[in-house]
């Protein structure tokens, strides 16, 4: 998807999500149907040296 500020846009249906908390910011459409996406799962991350560390449950 396309990342702008802290929002990512799905290239398939155009829904926009907040990458900080996974909340739906703007619903998208698939052809003529409105899609009803759900909140995305988000994970805490930190940078350690040259590595990006993702804390997964």
pLDDT tens for each residue of 13-30: 888 999 889 899 888 877
List the chain domain ranges: 2-54
Q: Please say if the pLDDT value at position 56 is more than 90.
A: no
Average pLDDT for 3-7: 91
Q: What are the contacts of 2-8 at 24+ separation with CB within 8 A?
A: none
Mean pLDDT of the chain: 84
pTM of full prediction above 0.85: no
As a three-state string, the secondary structure of 15-57 is CEEECCCCCEEECCEECCEECCCCCCCCCCEEEECCEEEECCC
**Residue 1 DSSP label:** -
């Amino acid at each position: 998807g396309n990342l702008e500020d802290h929002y990512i846009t799905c290239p398939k249906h155009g829904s926009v999500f907040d990458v900080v908390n996974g909340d739906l910011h703007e619903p998208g459409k698939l052809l003529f149907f409105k899609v009803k996406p759900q909140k995305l799962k988000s994970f805490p991350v930190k940078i350690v040296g040259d590595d990006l560390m993702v804390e997964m449950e």
